[in-house]
Structure 1
Amino acid sequence: MTVDAAQEDTYDRRSLHERIAADLRDEIMTGDLAPGAALPSTVRLKERFGASNATIQKALQLLKDERLVIGRAGAAVTVREHRRRTVRPASSLATGGPGEPYPWLAEVTEHGARARGELLAVGETAPPADVATALRLPVGGTALLRHQPLTLDGEPVELVHSYYPLDIARGTALMEHRKIQGGTPTLLSALGHPPRTGVDHVSARVPTREQYEALRLPGSLPVLRTLRVVYGAGERPIEATVMAKAGHLYEPRYAFTPE
């Protein structure tokens, strides 16, 4: 195919198997190819995309590497069950009762998945610039960091860095290297800083090395990065969390009503 100068800036320069995988990925994400559904046969895909058998197989391998489909040579390739998950941001502000697990973990468990968080680090640090701005820290200011990856059914799904103002965190369980029963919203409420509102800043980004390795990302797919700022009374920021998820497996869901 010849591309003239007028088309050069908009022409899709990806290889054919990447373009085929992109179209099939979109159909999986939109639900046109539902969980458990078989993908069209290799013959039909060859006809649809005007591609060779080898190119189709390379496209399907990309989707397998992304954990979107399963299948083996000579067998039908099907969309994996329960891979496309919806994130409900409001649930992150819920508090758990005495002895109850973090509501997010309980919600995931209700849907049949095994959720687990592993606390990797707790300590004072200089946060990224956007976090420092969100927490209204002075130039060179530090905050408490609690860092953990989250897994579902043994697969990494999210990398979490949560930051707290030191005047709130000092002398509390936030500073301790252990999980917090009921989650941080419960503890913050007990400390006199109940979460009132949260604001999400969502962007799609090329993964950092840490994100790529921790989330076991395939290829060059983006991550869904969310900076969530939680405010207490008087619109004071009490928590800022940076979350990174595999962009092809998750979507946020926001509910709203007209003012």
Structure 2
Amino acid sequence: MTVPRTDADAFDRRPLHERIAADLRDEIMSGDLAQGASLPSTAQLKDRFDASSATVQKALQLLKDERLVVGRAGAAVTVREHRQRTMRPAAYMAPARAGEPYRWLTESERNGARARSTLLEVAEVVPPADVSAALGLAEGAVAVVRRQLLAIDDEPAELVASYYPTDIAHGTPVTEHRKIQGGTPVLLAELGFPPRLSVDHVSARVPTQEQCTALLLPGNLPVLRTLRVVYSDRERPIEATVMVKAGHLYELRYEFTPD
């Protein structure tokens, strides 16, 4: 028998300071509180949320920890510049031109940011189940993984793990612990596996311990996890990449045209 929900069941059970932070966060991310704008005063927030000064300060501290606002006690709290960045995956999916760095870096810098990548690991591992399925690997089969941390303006932006079938990667720079000029799309094309189709699976998740540490996340705010599967000729999967970024700092922009 299904028990009907009541108004009490629908009540937001989070502590009041988290609820205040959530409402202000939404206004910042939607642009109602613009970059550089001052947040309402403590007195105004107390009246709006029927909260104490201490509760309001706890809410503001959450937003400071999340790198959305800046300010100190006794001074106005303002929305940080670049409070949220828009990422356009289609802009950096194609191989880079000859001699150019990975497109993610050039696209970020084109938008006025300083971007860099740090290669963390190159190894043979058993991938996560969804990656193995995407690559068509047998149960327990290994793939070559290249892990890197992408940063914008010296702040960690994205944790990336790219997986490659061993029959493609072995004997190539994919297995070497060094950066690849232009990124692996250029190399794969040179090896005879040009990217023809990319499919993104995007989900919001609670961050893992590794993600929380690498991305300097302040708590359990969700991350955006993208599993991108790249196919070459004859629909062969040649790469599966897991990309994780802070959900409150980044949004994904996809553009479509009618068929």
TM exceeding 0.5: yes
Q: In 1, Cα distance between the equivalents of 2:104 and 2:176?
A: 21
Q: What is the count of residue pairs matched by the alignment?
A: 255
- Consecutive unaligned residues of structure 2, counting only runs of 5 or more, are none
- Give the partner amino acid of 1:214: A
Q: 2:79 aligned with 1:76, yes or no?
A: no
Q: Secondary structure at the match of 2:218?
A: coil
For residues 106 and 126 of structure 2, the distance between their equivalents in structure 1, rounded to whole angstroms, comes to: 32
**Paired letter, 2:68:** L
Code of the residue aligned with 1:105 in structure 2: it is L
- The one-letter code of the counterpart of 1:161 is A
Q: Which amino acid aligns with 2:189?
A: S
> Quick check: 104-113 or 122-131, which moved more?
104-113
Give the aligned residue type for 2:255: A
2:244, 2:96 → 1: CA distance?
24
| TM-superposition CA deviations, 1:39-96 (whole Å, max 9, x none) | 1111111111111111111100000000000011111111100130111111232212
In structure 2, the partner of 1:252 is 252
Q: TM-score, normalised by structure 1?
A: 0.96
Equivalents in 1 of 2:193, 2:184: separation in Å?
A: 11
> What is aligned with 2:201?
201
* Pairwise CA distance, 1:9: 2.3
Moved over 2 A (4+): none
Partner of 1:226: 226
Q: How does 1:166-181 map to 2 (within 5 A)?
A: 166-181=166-181
The corresponding residue for 1:116 is 116
Percent identity among equivalent residues? 70
SS of residue paired to 1:120: strand
Q: Cα offset for 1:103?
A: 1.4
TM-score (norm. length: structure 2): 0.96
By how many angstroms is 1:183 displaced? 1.0
Give the match for residue 52 of structure 2.
52
Kept in 1, the 8 Å contact 2:92–2:107? The answer is no
| Residue number in structure 1 paired with 2:98 | 98
The separation in 2 between residues aligned to 1:231 and 1:83, in whole angstroms, is 34
Encode CA deviations 1:139-185: one digit per residue, 9 max, x unaligned: 22111100111111111111111001111111111111100101111
Cα distance in 1 between the residues matched to 2:28 and 2:126: 40
Asked if the contact 2:29/2:83 (under 8 Å) is kept, the reply is no
After alignment, is 87-96 or 180-189 more displaced?
87-96
Consecutive unaligned residues of structure 1, counting only runs of 5 or more, are none
